[in-house]
Structure 1
Amino acid sequence: MNIVNMMWAGGSPYMSIHKVHRQVLSHAGPDARISNWLLLGSGLCCGLGSTREWHMPPRALKGRHLWRLLRPWLRMRLRKALAEAQAEVVLLDGVGVARLVLPLLQQIPNVRAKVLFHGKTRLTASDIRLLRTLPAERLSIAAVSHTLAEALERDLGRPVQTLRMALDPRAFVEPLLSREQARQALALQPGNGQVLGAVGRLVESKGFEMLIEAFAKAAIHKPDLQLAIIGEGPLHAVLQARIDELGLAGRVHLCGHREDLQQLYRAFDWLLVPSRSEGLGLVVQEAVMADVPVVCSDLLVFREQLLDTGGYLPIADQSAWAEAIERCSVPGATALAARQRQALAPEQAWQAFQNGSQSLLRG
């Protein structure tokens, strides 16, 4: 089976999306030949198969103004390349890539499309018409959480497969660093003080601005407390300036993007996830499998994973988060982590993900 995995670009901003696609494609079977196509820019991709960089004009891809006149030419190039690759299946990264690719697939009847949604998407009327165009035997739609799949089904009026992203628990746990090793790798201050962690792109939807303000309130009463935020993004300078203004330099650390993120979770006594919205929030699963308890925003997608064990807090409620940070205690962490692991059931989730990935690609 020849599979073309079509994505926007590579590099750290797309790391979580690439991780999902890599895990899905790893279950394509021994006979699969995989080619990854990056439509924009360059960078690391899924780590499976070959990678081709297209360097398409961003405005043409988005179809804005006169640039939309280039879209037929882009589709012609893609159509020729799909024929040369003898593609049988195309895995598309969300509705943005689907807008470009699905119209040309109407002219290539032997290619099946799989559109994978990673987060909440505002579908236009033309998007809905497009995603209803191909019949079910040629187009499958999947989402990385049940919450997201239900929302898409309501909008589209056609079935959407839940493909809740999961990781192999044994493979994840094996390379984890110890508490001391992970803290050393992150250059955190030595000592027995608590370290709270947060992971994600430095963008507004992750809620890190609010988290820093809440930490500042709580830290007055907990002088040994530290906060380490792993991730990079456009808000880095803004967040660092606010950290300095609050006098938190040396206590709140912007650790940047880390390729070794999955090894570092045990640096944290607690993981804080203050997201305003999420398609899945894979960091929740990763923390729980590392035996780190999670406090997170009250989002349906988090309740889907942690049931009633999530320590849920109102979205963007600075006072509630400050109070929760003050309550974080090492003695209560171990028991909560155990309950969250039981709720997540990572072994069963991994098996369901493997089965779902095979069903998606071969269905």
Structure 2
Amino acid sequence: MARKLKVLQLQTRYNAADTNSDLGEQILQGLPADRFEVINAYLEGRPADDAIAPAGRRQVFFEFNEKDMSGLRLKVRARLLAFCREEGFDVVLLHRFKAVNLFMHLNKKLRIARCIGVSHGFGEYDRFYRRWQAKRLIDERWRFVGVSPAVVDYLVSLRCGFTPANTLAITNALDIDLAESLQLSRAEARQALGLPVTPVIIGAIGRLVPIKGHTHLVRAFAAISQDFPHASLAIIGGGREHENLAALVAESGLQGRVHLCGTQPDAMRYVRAFDIFAMPSLQEGLGLALLEGMCGRLPVLGSDIPAMRPLLLGAGGRLFTPGDVASLTQQLRASLADSEAERIEQGERAYRYLRREHDIEDFRRKYRELLEGDQLLTGSSS
């Protein structure tokens, strides 16, 4: 019997709110216990004391603080070096820049046979010093994954060690059957979120940070609110922009029409509360929330950015210029002008696209092959 492959999956921060849609969790679900021994670890954060640990899974929470994670991160490096030497990993799977950068340095000493860095978005290597480090530290042990072809194009274009031979796209996917089993009914979801019983609710899911573009969505809704008095807007998510958005809602006189629902565990449970799904992000690696909207059989509209454009076109959604309130207003107006029957058909078309193009088993297979394979990668796949 072949020896199990020992894998460390390292993520930057533990987030209890999105356990079922988390990319790392989706990968873990596809790694059979008879072939892989996996330790799932987090640099920062930990679950609540009363949280139930997943059965049969080893988890490590390093609980480094902000000071530990800044500068040269010498304390972090020393602890990870000792941990990895003790465990003897065959493969490390690293999510986001901090984890990847740490192991670019550490693996010069550890010499783990395969290091896989997953990039979830753009901009991580925009700084010259980060590109210089990558060019100096990337060697034949490294492979890289972009969560969309657009992210791969970004990495390769930097010309600092990411190449078509060591970098591929594994497009984010959704466990559709699981997501549908968790979804509340329309009435249940609206009640749980405290939303009104109105004919049409435009919904969005995402962290309340500037790059997610929620300010533009509120302004666009304000522009058409008088023409569609039966419509409301609801945004699920928390973050530093909450107070600014609440002030904008009040300034626009939209109290009772715009609902800031806060952070909700497994936000995809509530997607059926909406009739239209909007994603106004200025930048995304892929836009998993957009897939969650499709899973709710909703018509979708979103920013015309490289990572989201093929998803929206494939699903028959509407696109608008990122950060352009007038363009977003136009598409919101068109969506609200559709009949209920038209919206239902658009939602079914988006759902069929999701089933066809973002199959979770294909996603998991690609990660299994990447973890187990020794052959050189010869290009991107979506």
Alpha-carbon distance change, 352 to 260 in structure 1, aligned in 2, over 3 angstroms = closer
Match in the other structure for 1:51 = 59
**Residue 33 of structure 1 aligns to which amino acid in structure 2?**
E
**TM-score normalised according to structure 2 size:** 0.85
Deviation string, structure 1 residues 272-295 (Cα, Å, up to 9, x no partner): 111100001011111112201101
Partner of 1:311: 318
| 1: CA distance, partners of 2:226 / 2:236 | 23
SS in 2 for 1:106: helix
Aligned partners of 2:298 and 2:350 also within 8 Å: no
Distance 1:154 1:333, change over 3 A: same
Distance (whole Å) between structure 2 residues aligned to residue 98 and residue 333 of structure 1: 42
Secondary structure of 2:342's counterpart equals helix
Tell me what 2:376 maps to: none
Letter in 2 for 1:341: Y
Structure 1: which 5+ runs fail to align? Answer: none
Q: Which amino acid aligns with 1:276?
A: L
Aligned to 1:198: 204
- The alpha carbon displacement at 1:130 in A equals 4.0
Question: Which region of structure 1 is more displaced relative to structure 2, 40-49 or 265-274?
Answer: 40-49
CA distance in 2, matches of 1:361, 1:105: 17
Aligned residue in 1 for 2:39 = 35
Q: Distance in 2 between matches of 1:247 and 1:125?
A: 45
Q: Using the alignment, how far apart are the partners of 1:106 and 1:186 within structure 2?
A: 50
User: Quick one: distance in 2 between partners of 1:346 and 1:262?
Assistant: 20
- The answer to whether the aligner puts 1:10 opposite 2:18 as a matched pair is no
The correspondence for 1:23, drawn from 21, 26, 47, is 26
1:98 match: 100
Any idea what SS the aligned residue of 1:337 has?
A: helix
Mapped partners of 1:263, 1:47: distance in 2? 20
Q: Please, which moves more after superposition, 229-238 or 326-335?
A: 326-335
Letter of the aligned partner of 1:163 in structure 2? I
Amino acid at match of 2:181: E
With over 3 angstroms needed to count, the CA separation of the structure-2 counterparts of 1:274 and 1:16, relative to structure 1, is: farther
Measure, in 1, the Cα distance between the counterparts of 2:148 and 2:321.
21
Which string of whole-angstrom CA distances, capped at 9 and with x for unpartnered residues, describes residues 56-95 of structure 1?
Answer: 34344332xxxx3xx3443222111112222222111222
**Deviation of 1:355 (Å):** 1.8
Q: Aligned-pair distance for 1:349?
A: 3.1
Identity %: 28
Is this contact kept in 2: 1:17–1:118, CA < 8 A? no
Match of 2:287 in 1: 281
Is contact 1:215-1:322 (8 Å) kept?
A: yes
Distance 1:354 1:92 in 2: 16
Q: Choose which of 287, 300, 306 in structure 2 pairs with 1:300.
A: 306
How many angstroms apart in 1 are the aligned matches of 2:13 and 2:69?
Answer: 12
- CA distance in 1 between counterparts of 2:249 and 2:257 reads 9
- C-alpha distance in structure 1 between counterparts of 2:118 and 2:324, whole Å: 32
Paired residue for 1:183? 190
Question: Cα offset for 1:135?
Answer: 3.2
2:167 maps to: 160
Q: Which amino acid aligns with 1:184?
A: Q
Q: Which amino acid aligns with 1:238?
A: N
Task: State the 1:204 CA deviation.
Answer: 0.2
* Matched letter for residue 102 of structure 1: M
How many equivalent pairs are there? Answer: 354
Contact 2:122-2:151 at 8 Å conserved across structures: yes
The aligned residue for residue 151 of structure 2 is 148
- Residue range with higher mean Cα deviation, 203-212 or 148-157: 148-157
Shift of 1:122: 3.9
Per-residue deviation, residues 324-363 of structure 1 (Å, max 9, x unmatched): 2222232321222233234444466333212211122223
The answer on 1:362 being equivalent to 2:375 is no
Aligned counterpart in structure 2 of residue 135 of structure 1, from 136, 139, 142: 139
Which deviates further from its counterpart, 17-26 or 310-319?
A: 17-26
CA–CA distance in 2 between the matches of 1:188 and 1:302? 28
Corresponding residue number in structure 2 for 1:61: 69
What whole-Å deviation, never above 9, does each CA across 1:248-295 have from its counterpart, x for those lacking one? 111110001111422211111100111100001011111112201101
Q: Distance in 2 between matches of 1:319 and 1:277?
A: 18
Q: Which amino acid aligns with 1:360?
A: L
Deviation at 1:111, TM superposition (A): 4.5
Q: For each residue in 1:119-165, what CA deviation from the matched residue of structure 2 results, as whole angstroms up to 9, or x when unmatched?
A: 112414443454453433x2110011111112212224423111111
Q: What amino acid does structure 2 have at the position aligned with 1:118?
A: H
Q: Distance in 2 between matches of 1:94 and 1:260?
A: 21
How far residue 47 of structure 1 moved from its aligned partner, in angstroms, is: 5.3
The separation in 2 between residues aligned to 1:167 and 1:157, in whole angstroms, is 27
Single out whichever of 88-97 and 224-233 deviates more from structure 2.
Answer: 88-97
Q: Does 1:117 align with 2:127?
A: no
SS at match of 1:107: helix
SS of residue in 2 equivalent to 1:237: helix
TM-superposed deviation, 1:12: 5.6
Q: Which one of 332, 348, 355 corresponds to residue 338 of structure 1?
A: 348
